[in-house]
């Protein structure tokens, strides 16, 4: 495993934030992410207000209206906290929609001599994403019980699990563009430790509200660099 490869790929991706092609995809991705989080927030707020009603009766106090107001304001902070967990499936889902555009922008700047590749058919990419999303959500639900059993280590378990899942997914989809599904799986197995560590470094900022908005697109660019470096090293 070469940590230098990971950090070099990340800083190259970060340095391309000003590229108009990269910036356009980044802004669309962030916009859709915010829209999704607002949608979940709206559903939660509507359900909370429906459950509590305009007036809530408490022992000794009688009817009070401030509880629903408190839920409304407190739910903002709750949604910021939930975004830590919501951003993991969001990061996975956004991959299928934007990785092709991100990879093209990265390759146009840093690997201009590469031949053009046909885009992965939308429904094939969607099928892979839905399948992987099911695995990701299922394992994270199971992990909730592990978090409760080992609360001091919950964050580290979260990073390790989702770093593995997101790292393998991002690398697989990135590699498939250039070398096909079978070769992509071979490369993923060969460089699993590097991919896992890169995935962990992606999962860590996903657990920081607001910062996590830019990570899905930045991660796609980072794994594009990692793929090309690993392929070049294997060929040397």
- Domain residue ranges of the chain, discontinuous segments joined by +: 3-17+84-235
Report residue 8's pLDDT band, with 50, 70 and 90 as the boundaries: very high
Q: What is the pTM of this model?
A: 0.79
pLDDT at 222 over 90: yes
Mean pLDDT confidence for 100-106: 87
User: What's residue 67's pLDDT?
Assistant: 47
Find residue 64's DSSP bridge partners: 56
For residue range 39-90, list pLDDT tens digits in order.
766 776 676 666 655 554 444 444 445 445 545 555 556 666 666 666 777 7
CA nearest 1: which of 178, 233, 186? 233
Q: Which of 48, 125, 39, 152 lies closest to 86 in space, CA to CA? A: 39
């Amino acid at each position: 495993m070469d940590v230098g490869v990971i950090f070099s790929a990340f800083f190259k991706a970060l340095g391309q934030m000003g590229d108009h092609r990269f910036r356009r995809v980044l802004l669309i991705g962030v916009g859709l992410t915010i829209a999704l989080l607002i949608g979940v927030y709206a559903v939660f707020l509507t359900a909370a207000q429906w459950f509590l009603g305009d007036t809530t009766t408490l022992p000794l106090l009688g009817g009070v209206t401030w509880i629903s107001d408190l839920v409304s304001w407190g739910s903002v902070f709750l949604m910021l906290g939930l975004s830590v967990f919501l951003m993991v499936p969001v990061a996975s889902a956004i991959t299928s929609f934007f990785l092709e555009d991100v990879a093209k922008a990265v390759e146009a700047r840093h690997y201009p001599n590469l031949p053009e590749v046909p885009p992965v058919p939308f429904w094939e990419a969607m099928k892979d994403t839905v399948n992987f999303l099911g695995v990701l959500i299922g394992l994270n639900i199971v992990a909730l019980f592990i978090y409760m059993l080992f609360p001091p280590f919950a964050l580290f378990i979260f990073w390790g699990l989702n770093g593995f899942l997101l790292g393998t997914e991002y690398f697989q989809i990135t590699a498939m563009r250039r070398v096909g599904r079978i070769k992509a799986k071979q490369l993923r197995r060969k460089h699993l430790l590097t991919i896992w560590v890169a995935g962990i470094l992606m999962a860590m900022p996903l657990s920081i509200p607001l910062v996590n908005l830019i990570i899905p697109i930045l991660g796609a660019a980072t794994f594009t660099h990692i793929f090309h470096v690993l392929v070049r090293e294997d060929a040397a």
